Amino acid sequence: MGDGIRMKAKRWFLYFVIYSMLGWCYEVFLEVVVYRWGFSNRGFLWGPYCPVYGFGALAFLLCLNRLKEKQVRCKLPFLQKSVNLTPLFVFVGIILIATGIELVASYLLEYTTGGWLWDYRSYGFHFQGRIALNPSLRFGLGGMVIMYLLHPALRRVFEPREDAQINRYFWVAAIAMGADVLIRIAGLIL
């Protein structure tokens, strides 16, 4: 693997960690501020991150970035002008990707731990309490924030950084998250 590809992979790993941490913050915010249930660690791991959000964000970026850059226009007869439908298609794509990842994650967590960390049975339009329309729409909005605001800002922060800096950030994040994953797996096995 070339140095350029290796550095790109390290940057993507850092994006994964950042989005995992932002997902954890979102979950804690909902629990403490919106639902007023009080604080609990909302992640599968002990650290302040929910990897499912990291995987989701990377999936949005990898699957939808080309579409985001295109102009899909449609002339609407009642407006008499052409409208850019790209953001709508990106939004729908984010919803489909996020919902699919959440469904798969629920089955993986159930298989490995005996249950999953959320229950949408009280929501309308849910499937087995694993996925529901309301959270999927919220993930769609959050994904739009990632695609159009957060990721461009993060790229402006990380892209100009020297390789040595990226290496330091990468190793700190990889060791912290790797240790957490190993401890969690050991806890499941023992």
- What number of other Cβ atoms are within 10 A of residue 177's Cβ? 20
Q: Could you give the CA distance from residue 79 to residue 48 in angstroms, rounded to a whole number?
A: 47
101-116 pLDDT per residue, tens: 999 999 998 888 888 7
Torsional sign, CA 43, 165, 168, 10: positive
Q: What is the C-alpha separation between 20 and 54, in angstroms, rounded?
A: 4
Higher per-residue confidence, 73 vs 170: 170
pLDDT in tens, 178-188: 988 888 778 76
Which amino acid is present at 12? Answer: W
Rounded to the nearest integer, the mean pLDDT of the chain is: 88
CA atoms within 13 A on the CB side of 179: 6
The pTM assigned to this predicted structure is 0.84
